[in-house]
Amino acid sequence: MSKQSKKLHKNIFISWILLFQWYLYFPIAIWMFYFLQYLDFREVAIIGAASTIAGSIFEIPTGAISDIIGRKKTLIISRLFGITSFVMMILGKTFWVFLVARFIQGISQALWSGSLESLQYDTLKESGQKDRFTDVVSRNGVLSWLALFVSSVVGGFLFDISPTLPYIVTTFFTAITLIITFFIEEPKIDSEVFSFSSYIKQTLKGFHELFSTQKRRSISLIMITITAGYFIASKILGISQAIEYGLEGKGVGMLFGAGYLIAAFSSHFYPQIRKKLSAGKLAVLASLVLIASFLGAYFVGIFFGMVLIFLRIVSSTTFLNSKSLIINEFIDSKNRATALSTMTLLSELPFVLLSYFIGDAIDKTSPNEFALILGIVMVGFLLPQLVRYRVIKKK
């Protein structure tokens, strides 16, 4: 085996370990229950948005930094911030400690966002095997959903033993993967000496990659809108709906875990499905499931409401895999992490700007009423964009 081939297999294998651990986040299904021990719902809504706000503020800067200092260093720093935030959540019992902890967690997420996927793509490209990226993305989906399945189910049981135990176990595994990250071999495609001017230029390139032509702009806006819907559902709406249906920590863990498990199988068979349907068509089908889960929740009972949550979770892996292929198709390697971070920022921005109002609306009405409004708004925004894209495509 050649040196280049060894580097490829080593980096991809390590990246899968890091990815599995990243999604092995044991508080995933019980975090709201954890904070409700010490805070009221309005404070919990603000806490829930804190990591997103931090992630959004630092999303593009950290993407640019990753493109400049390299993927390995960025991933190491991300793990260090993650451990710090988890320790603060274990020891802290007040609103302000939790707020700072979640803010630090958001910085960790921003450093992670785009860096691992860029590491994989650049490693494959350097080895002349970028055609394997579809298979790598598929495996990413399988591992992430399996990790979410394990963490959501196990996290519910750990929470019953001790409320802090899900965070303690997550901290332990994060520390292990911090050590493993040091064994990554940096691809030689993108790294350069850091300077403030290069950082500013790199940041601007992220927007250019996504919006430089009419077609790119149209595709990016559609992907951002749908991703924003999935993001809002995952951050606060899904758990809120489950609580409205009367589920406790274990119940939420089992419901989410079932969705994550089927999503893992869906991601595993994604390459085979892709041979029959394009990434664009699969993204459309997943988006229809998402919107239907919003519009239908208000009109159904508990059983079918939980089915809609389940289907929304399952469909998300198909959409995310498809989006990754669609977006990476037109992004230049040198600007990939920056562009992906820009995409993530813009997708999270609606939740960041409206997080207080979302929490207030859910508190005053109900999660399902808010879901109905969200679905109507998404349809109203997507239809003109889809019409515009079809017009551009025909030119």
User: Any idea what the CATH number is for the domain that residue 313 is in?
Assistant: 1.20.1250.20
pLDDT over threshold 90, residue 111: no
CA distance 23 to 256: 13
Cβ proximity of 122 and 338 under 8 Å:
no
Give the confidence band of 175 by pLDDT, cuts at 50, 70, 90.
very high
Give the per-residue pLDDT at 269: 83
- Flag whether pLDDT at 293 surpasses 90: yes
Residues 19-57 have pLDDT tens digits of 999 999 999 888 888 988 888 777 887 887 888 788 777
pLDDT classification of 189: cutoffs 50, 70, 90: low
59-80 pLDDT, tens digit each: 666 667 777 777 888 899 999 9
Report the 10 Å Cβ neighbour count for 181.
Answer: 21
Give residue 5's pLDDT: 66
pTM, two decimal places: 0.75
Residue 304 has pLDDT above 80, yes or no: yes
Q: What integer pLDDT is reported at residue 184 of this predicted model?
A: 84
Comparing 3-17, 220-234, 330-344, 381-395, the range with the smallest average pLDDT is 330-344
Band of the pLDDT at 89, cuts 50, 70, 90? Answer: very high
CA distances from 86 to 153, 213, 239, 348 (A): 19, 42, 21, 22
- Count of CA atoms in the C-beta half-sphere (13 A) of 83: 14
**The pLDDT of residue 167:** 96
For residue 193, pLDDT over 60 is answered with no
Does 395 have pLDDT greater than 70?
Answer: no
Look at the chain and report how many structural domains it folds into.
1
Confidence check: pLDDT of 192 > 60? no
Length of the chain: 395
Give the per-residue pLDDT at 176.
Answer: 95
User: What is the chain's percent helix, strand, coil content, to nearest 5?
Assistant: 85, 0, 15
Percentage of the chain modeled with pLDDT above 70: 91
Worst-scoring range by mean pLDDT, 136-140, 250-254, 285-289, 372-376?
Answer: 136-140
- Between helices 249-268 and 133-161, what is the axis angle to 10°? 170
Residues 139-159: tens digit of each pLDDT = 887 888 889 889 988 998 898
In this structure, the dihedral spanned by the alpha carbons of residues 24, 25, 26 and 29, taken in order and rounded to 10 degrees, is -120
Q: What is the CA radius of gyration of the chain?
A: 20
Q: Mean pLDDT over all residues of the chain?
A: 84
Domain extent, residue 224, equals 3-188+196-394
Burial class (CB in 10 A: 0-12, 13-18, 19+), 316: buried
